[in-house]
Amino acid sequence: MQASEAQLKAWMIAGLGGDAVAHELLLRALVPLLTSFYRRRMRDADSDVEDLVQETLISVHGKRATYDRDRPFTAWLYAIARYRLIDHVRRRKLSVPIEDVETILMAEGFEEALSARMDVEALLSTLSPKQARAIRETQVEGLSIAEAAEKAGLGESDVKVSVHRGLKTLAARLRGERP
């Protein structure tokens, strides 16, 4: 049985308070969640999945002080997992079809969709209108590149570039860098 968002968050907060048992319970509970997360994205790569789970657990342990107690735990967890996956893909120089980028980058959570949507809108408001629209339509609303291009009266490559540059800018901002 998988632990709930509330239970995971409670273990995380207790672990931050020095409760070693809670921290161990959290890490153990994350193994099936992360295994499932990576298996959906890395078909036929069980050894890679195991490596990614271990790397993510190490990152969770090492970055636990960055967790904001007022935010959903799973959003923080899956952000770390996505970064580990992206790093893995880059290290291996694997190609990922553009259609799969949305799947890799989409946040996975439990019942925090409304809060996440507000966060996404706040982030998108920091981009140029063209980049925000391209990301909103392709990554949030689920339009294809072709559909978004037609809707905006742009070329497909223009939409792809806008999405790429916008996501790059957002990633830099989330890491605290100046884009």
Instruction: Kindly state whether residues 7 and 85 are assigned to the same domain.
Output: yes
Instruction: State the total domains in the chain.
Output: 2
Q: What's the CA gap between 56 and 170, in Å, rounded?
A: 22
Instruction: Kindly state whether residues 51 and 128 are assigned to the same domain.
Output: no
Instruction: Kindly state whether residues 128 and 49 are assigned to the same domain.
Output: no
Instruction: Kindly state whether residues 5 and 93 are assigned to the same domain.
Output: yes
pLDDT digits (tens, 9 = 90+) for 5-48: 889 999 999 999 999 999 999 999 999 999 988 888 776 677 78
pLDDT digits (tens, 9 = 90+) for 100-142: 444 544 444 433 343 445 567 777 888 999 999 998 888 877 7
Where residue 125 falls (left for φ over 0; alpha for ψ -120 to 50; beta otherwise) is alpha
Q: Residue 76: which domain range?
A: 1-98
Q: What's the CA gap between 101 and 31, in Å, rounded?
A: 23
* CATH code: domain of residue 173: 1.10.10.10
pTM for the full predicted model: 0.53
Considering only CA atoms, which of 141, 139, 122, 133 is closest in space to residue 162? 133
Neighbours of 168 (CB within 10 A): 12
Q: What's the CA gap between 88 and 70, in Å, rounded?
A: 30
